[in-house]
Every structure is written in structure tokens, then in C-alpha cells.
Amino acid sequence: MKYILLIALLLLMFPLQGKLQPSKSFYDYSVKTIDDEDFSFSSLKGKKVMVVNTASKCGNTPQYGELEKLYKEFGGDKFVIIGFPANNFLSQEPGSNEEIETFCRVNYGVTFPMMAKISVKGDDKHPVYQWLTSKALNGVMDAEVKWNFQKFLIDEKGHLVDVIMPKVSPYDEKIVAWLKNTSE
């Protein structure tokens, strides 16, 4: 009995250190693109990734232009933006995948990868967004999606590193500094 107490006391004195270990990695997920093709996040290993939930009829919709500018400047071998259309906030993304793709291309010249429309909150939240928003899954933080154009930053090793609120410009100095920092 005294050994059990001793072990319990030692565990209390030396708590487990570090982050929670995620049950799955960002790279374990696959999704459908807006063109209904399979897309595995494992293809993004070694790149910084910005995951953004988007909507075509939102006050933040002009951020598509800033996202495209950011993608043209930094995208390629080291960085990618992944857009996820979602209709979770005041029905601001009512269109079909085809309508969304046309809207993005015609109005904002979007060339960064757009995925099929999903849910980013609620009972039908997509598994990728379950991982992004749950510390128990991502090992870093809980981060409820507040509105359209919330940005999740993933490092080259597939770790969630930050969440940028919806109203913050994709071209914010904090994001640009993160992209320019190659020491991560």
C-alpha cells in the first residue's frame, strides 16, 4: 500500500510535461476538392498551411482577394492556402460547389486550392475541423470557429500553431512574419 502512495505522490510531484499528444495528425486527413477529387493532406508535408472557412455572401468575402495575393506571393513549395466553403453562419454560403468555384474564380481570381463545401461547426462538423478546433485531437488548443474567414495556421510538421480571427486580414503582419520565418 505504501508503494502505491509513493508512486501516486511521485506522479503528482512530476506531472507529465509538454503538449497533449494528438490522436491523429493533420496529415492523416483526406477531403474532397471543390471539383470532387480526393485530396490528402499528407501531400502537404513540409509546407506551411493556412486553412480558411469561406463564404461568398459575407462582409469578409473580399478577403478572397487578399488570400489570393498572399498565395501568389508566398504559395508554392513552402506554403499553401486551403479554402473550405461553409454555410454555418447566417446561410452566407448557399451555393453549390460549382457555383462557389465559379464565384471565386470570376470575382477574385482564386487559384489556391478550394475544397468541397463542408460544415465547420455543430453536430455535422467535418473531421478536419474537429481536429482544428479540439485540443484533445490537435494537442495544442481548443479554437471554436467564430465566423467565416477564420484562419488556422499549420506548420511544416503538421502542427497547429495559431488561430487568426475572421476579421483579421490574411495579409496581417503576424501572418506575413510567420510565413517569412523559415526556422520553424
Please list the active-site residues.
58
Provide CB contacts within 8 A for 78, sequence distance 6+: 46, 47, 48, 156, 182
Residue with cell 480526393: 38
**Rounded to an integer, what distance in angstroms lies between the CA atom of residue 138 and that of residue 159?**
7
Neighbours of 65 (CB within 10 A): 15
Query: Measuring CA to CA, how many Å separate 176 from each of 106, 124, 183?
Result: 26, 33, 14
Residue with cell 510538421: 157
**Rounded to an integer, what distance in angstroms lies between the CA atom of residue 41 and that of residue 67?**
19
8-state DSSP, 121: S
Q: What angle do CA 21, 161, 125 make, to 5 degrees?
A: 75
